[in-house]
């Protein structure tokens, strides 16, 4: 598939657990994306970008071969396919763990307890590497589909699979035991992209947009009023990313404070702010932050 319109190509999952979040991330970057339905390639209306909708297992290879310059895919897929691509940015969604799960009536005290066991998985390369690195002699049973039923069918003793909530394991009377890999969605690029100046500049601009969205997602805009006598005390409480903005109000000795803070900090400090004299406290979402 050759680039004909000068656009950079980004491969994303066509239908799966990363699709919705990948599209939302791009829309938050102010990219106008048409409905793709059954299309393989869709051009973004207001940006020099084409989206390729693929199976997640195919994305690393497409990026490795330069068919798509960029891709959004899980770290687990990259490690399993062993594709020669560069991870540019972790995107903060699609988080999961690849774990060895065992029957509920079994306990594993040491990694050595895996010796001579049969472990069913859809990730044979990752599991084999993990066992090799830890000097464990176990048989890897490659199953392409659902692996949860393998122990009850006598195909394997244990399984190794992606775990998020653990509900599927419980239904199959299994429990998560050993963590093999932590994974999340990442932005990847093809090697040698920096040698194509025009395409590389498009990539840098897109990366800047993505980083601004990710920064905003982790932050909130905090506003409040405070009397002059309490100003320094309140400023000392605020965990601002930059120095807070202080503005005098029409009422004498009253100031407005504006600050960008980490999202998770608000509920840790709100009672302290009120006790220090802050009033009219507002917490607002942020669409983008360019640092």
CA-to-CA distance for 223 and 108, rounded, in angstroms? 51
Q: Is 185 exposed, middle or buried (0-12, 13-18, 19+ CB in 10 A)?
A: buried
Q: How far from 51 is each of 7, 69, 86, 140, 258, CA to CA, in Å? A: 10, 11, 19, 36, 38
The full set of domains in the chain, from first to last, is: 8-94+185-216 (3.40.190.10), 96-183 (3.40.190.10), 219-285 (3.30.70.120)
* pLDDT digits 0-9 by tens, 156-207: 999 999 887 778 899 889 999 999 999 999 999 999 898 888 899 999 999 9
SS3 for 161?
A: strand
CA-to-CA distance for 2 and 12, rounded, in angstroms? 18
User: Which of 82, 76, 128, 120 has its CA nearest to residue 97?
Assistant: 76
pTM of the model: 0.84
Strands, E assignment, the chain: 8-13, 41-43, 49-54, 70-74, 86-90, 96-103, 118-121, 139-142, 158-163, 174-183, 185-189, 219-227, 245-248, 254-262, 279-285
* pLDDT digits 0-9 by tens, 53-66: 999 999 999 999 99
């Amino acid at each position: 598939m050759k680039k004909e319109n000068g656009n950079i190509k980004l491969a994303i999952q066509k239908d799966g657990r990363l699709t919705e979040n990948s599209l939302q991330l791009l829309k938050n970057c102010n990219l106008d994306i048409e409905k793709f339905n059954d299309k393989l390639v869709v051009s973004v209306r207001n940006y020099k970008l084409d989206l390729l909708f693929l199976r997640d297992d195919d994305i690393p290879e497409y990026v490795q071969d330069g068919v798509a310059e960029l891709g959004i895919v899980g770290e687990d897929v990259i490690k399993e396919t062993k594709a020669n691509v560069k991870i540019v940015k972790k995107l903060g969604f699609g988080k999961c763990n690849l774990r060895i799960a065992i029957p509920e009536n079994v306990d594993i005290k040491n990694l050595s307890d895996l010796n001579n066991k049969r472990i069913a998985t859809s990730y044979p390369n990752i599991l084999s590497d993990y066992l090799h690195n830890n000097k464990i002699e176990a048989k890897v049973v490659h199953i392409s589909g659902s692996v949860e039923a393998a122990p009850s069918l006598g195909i394997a003793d244990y399984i190794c699979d992606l775990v998020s909530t653990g509900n599927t394991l419980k239904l199959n009377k299994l429990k998560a035991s050993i963590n093999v890999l932590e994974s999340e969605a990442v932005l990847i690029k093809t090697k040698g992209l920096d040698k194509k100046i025009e395409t590389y500049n498009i990539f840098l601009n897109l990366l800047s947009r993505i980083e601004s969205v990710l920064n905003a997602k982790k932050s909130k805009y905090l506003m409040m009023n405070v009397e002059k006598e309490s100003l320094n005390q309140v400023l000392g409480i605020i965990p601002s990313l930059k120095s807070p903005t202080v503005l005098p109000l029409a009422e004498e000795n009253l100031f407005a404070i504006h600050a960008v803070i980490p999202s998770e900090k608000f509920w840790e400090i709100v009672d302290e702010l009120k006790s220090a004299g802050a009033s009219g406290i507002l917490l607002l979402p942020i669409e983008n932050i360019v640092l």
